[in-house]
Amino acid sequence: MKQMAIASSLMKHWQEETTIEVPTSFPGMRLDTSALTGWLEWRTEFWKPYVQRSGQQELQRLSVEVHVYSRGVGAGPVLHRLVDEVLPVYTRTTMEVHDYEESGAPLIGYVSLYEPEVRELSREELNQHGSQLRHALVEWRGMAQELV
């Protein structure tokens, strides 16, 4: 299955399902964060498909990562609120994968994402110098399956 089709379907789902008031930066997009108090950075990563017998549906392992940032006074509570708003978008979700490069955007498979892992990545030593930047990572792992 085309990785671009999987990523495009995941991004489309994100754009349709999020109501978060901070901007999201997608791969290849530039976002000036100098005046922002919060923002999100979205990315996906693919691993080699499972070794399978020929003729079976292709299974593709993947992860979706959303880096969550907040800055300024009260950055900690803002970070936790943003993480809470991000969590339901992909958690335990199965969605269609469409090939948007083809006419009519045909259905070519499905993606299932599981429970996310949330990690606090803020570096306290940087915050001691007045930065007040907080950083968390929300990561969903899952599987894409091609239709035969």
More confident residue, 51 or 33: 33
CB 24 within 8 A of CB 31: no
Q: pLDDT per residue over 46-82, tens digit each?
A: 987 666 666 667 788 999 999 999 998 788 899 999 9
Identity at 134, one-letter amino acid code: R
Asked whether the beta carbons of 134 and 67 are under 8 A apart, the reply is no
**Which pLDDT band, with edges at 50, 70 and 90, does 115 fall under?**
very high
Contact 17, 89 (CB under 8 A): yes
Q: State residue 126's pLDDT score.
A: 54
Q: What is the pLDDT of residue 26?
A: 95
Which pLDDT score, from 0 to 100, does residue 103 have?
87
3-state secondary structure of 77: helix
Picking from 104-108, 128-132, 139-143, which range would have the lowest pLDDT averaged per residue?
A: 128-132
- Please tell me the distance from the alpha carbon of residue 100 to that of residue 113, in angstroms, as a whole number: 21
pTM for the complete prediction?
A: 0.88
Task: Assess whether pLDDT exceeds 80 at residue 140.
Answer: yes
In the chain, the domains with their CATH numbers are: 3-24+38-146 (3.30.2000)
Q: Specify the pLDDT at position 50.
A: 63
> What is the model's pLDDT at position 127?
54
